[in-house]
Structure 1
Amino acid sequence: MHALRCLAGNWIQIPIPRASAAGGATRRRLSYVLGIETSCDDTGIAIVDTAGRVRANVLDSQQEFHTRYGGIIPPRAQDLHRARIESAYQRCLAEAQLQPEDLAAIAVTTRPGLPLSLLVGLRFARHLARRLQKPLLPVHHMEAHALQARMEHKEICFPFLCLLASGGHCQLVVVHGPGRLTLLGQTLDDAPGEAFDKIGRRLRLHILPEYRLWNGGRAIEHAARLASDPLAYDFPLPLAQQRNCSFSFAGIKNNSFRAIRRRELSERTPPDGVISNYGDFCAGLLRAVSRHLMHRTQRAIEYCLLPQLRLFGDAPPTLVMSGGVANNDAIYANIAHLAEQYGCRSYRPSKRYCSDNGVMIAWHGVEQLLQDKQGSLRFDYDSIDIQGSAGFAECHEEAVQAAAIKCKWIQPLG
Structure 2
Amino acid sequence: MNSIARIETSCDDTGAAVVDEAGCVLGEALHCQKEVHLQSGGIIPVVAQQLHRENIDQVVQEALGASGVSVADLAAVATTVKPGLALSLGVGLQYSRSLVSRHQKPFIPIHHMEAHALTIRLTHHLEFPFLVLLISGGHCLLAVAQGVSDFLLLGQSIDIAPGDMLDKVARRLSLRKHPECHSMAGGKAIEHLAQTGNQELLTFRLPMQQYRNCDFSFSGLQNLVNNAIVQKEKEEGIPEGEILSCVKDVAAAVQHAVAVHIIQRTYRAMLFCIKNSILPSKNATLVVSGGVASNQYIRKVLQNLADANDFALLCPPPRLCTDNGVMIAWNGIERLRAGLGVLHSTAGIRYEPRAPLGIDISKRVEEDSIRVPKLKEIRWLAS
TM-score range, shorter chain: over 0.9
Q: Is the 8 A contact 1:109 1:139 kept in 2?
A: yes
- 2:191 aligned with 1:215, yes or no? no
Taking the aligned partners of 2:285 and 2:44, their CA distance within structure 1 comes to: 38
What is the Cα deviation at residue 313 of structure 1?
A: 5.1
What is the Cα deviation at residue 63 of structure 1?
A: 1.1
Residues 251-280 of structure 1: CA deviation (Å, up to 9, x unaligned): 210111111111111111244421011111
Taking the aligned partners of 2:7 and 2:282, their CA distance within structure 1 comes to: 31
Taking the aligned partners of 2:141 and 2:134, their CA distance within structure 1 comes to: 5
What's the counterpart of residue 237 of structure 1?
Answer: 206
Taking the aligned partners of 1:350 and 1:43, their CA distance within structure 2 comes to: 19
Q: Which amino acid aligns with 2:352?
A: Q
What is the Cα deviation at residue 31 of structure 1?
A: 1.4
TM (normalized to structure 2)? 0.96
Q: Which amino acid aligns with 2:196?
A: L
Q: Which amino acid aligns with 1:46?
A: A
Instruction: Tell me which of 9, 24, 48 is aligned to 1:38.
Output: 9
- 2:143 aligned with 1:176, yes or no? no
Residues 86-115 of structure 1: CA deviation (Å, up to 9, x unaligned): 000111111112222221111100000011
Taking the aligned partners of 2:250 and 2:280, their CA distance within structure 1 comes to: 42
Q: Is the 8 A contact 1:50 1:366 kept in 2?
A: yes
Instruction: Tell me which of 242, 248, 252 is aligned to 1:273.
Output: 242
Q: Is the 8 A contact 2:160 2:217 kept in 1?
A: yes
The structure-2 alpha-carbon separation of the partners of 1:252 and 1:311, relative to structure 1 and needing over 3 Å to count, comes to same
Q: Superposition pairs for residues 44-55 of structure 1, below 5 Å?
A: 44-55=15-26
- Sequence identity percentage: 42
Q: Which amino acid aligns with 2:132?
A: C
Q: Superposition pairs for residues 257-268 of structure 1, below 5 Å?
A: 257-268=226-237
Secondary structure in structure 1 of the residue aligned to 2:355: coil
Query: How large is the Cα RMSD of the aligned pairs?
Result: 1.4
Structure ID, larger Rg = 1
What's the counterpart of residue 18 of structure 1?
Answer: none
Q: Paired residues, what number? A: 379
Instruction: Tell me which of 349, 356, 369 is aligned to 2:316.
Output: 349
Taking the aligned partners of 1:398 and 1:135, their CA distance within structure 2 comes to: 38
Instruction: Tell me which of 332, 340, 348 is aligned to 2:299.
Output: 332
Q: Superposition pairs for residues 248-397 of structure 1, below 5 Å?
A: 248-306=217-275, 309-312=276-279, 316-372=283-339, 375-397=340-362
Q: Which amino acid aligns with 1:196?
A: L
What is the Cα deviation at residue 314 of structure 1?
A: 8.7
Question: Which has the larger displacement, 210-219 or 346-355?
Answer: 210-219
What is the Cα deviation at residue 213 of structure 1?
A: 3.0
Residues 45-81 of structure 1: CA deviation (Å, up to 9, x unaligned): 1111111111112110111111111111111111110
What is the Cα deviation at residue 406 of structure 1?
A: 1.2
Q: Is the 8 A contact 1:158 1:315 kept in 2?
A: no
Q: Is the 8 A contact 1:167 1:324 kept in 2?
A: yes
Secondary structure in structure 1 of the residue aligned to 2:184: coil
Secondary structure in structure 2 of the residue aligned to 1:210: coil
What's the counterpart of residue 132 of structure 1?
Answer: 103
Q: Is the 8 A contact 2:152 2:358 kept in 1?
A: yes
Residues 194-218 of structure 1: CA deviation (Å, up to 9, x unaligned): 1001000001101124322322111
Residues 365-390 of structure 1: CA deviation (Å, up to 9, x unaligned): 11112222xx5321121222100100
Taking the aligned partners of 1:89 and 1:239, their CA distance within structure 2 comes to: 44
- Structure 2: gaps of 5 or more residues: none
Residues 138-179 of structure 1: CA deviation (Å, up to 9, x unaligned): 00001111111111011x211110011111111000011222
Taking the aligned partners of 1:36 and 1:153, their CA distance within structure 2 comes to: 23
- Structure 1: gaps of 5 or more residues: 1-29
Instruction: Tell me which of 10, 22, 27 is aligned to 1:56.
Output: 27
Secondary structure in structure 1 of the residue aligned to 2:77: strand
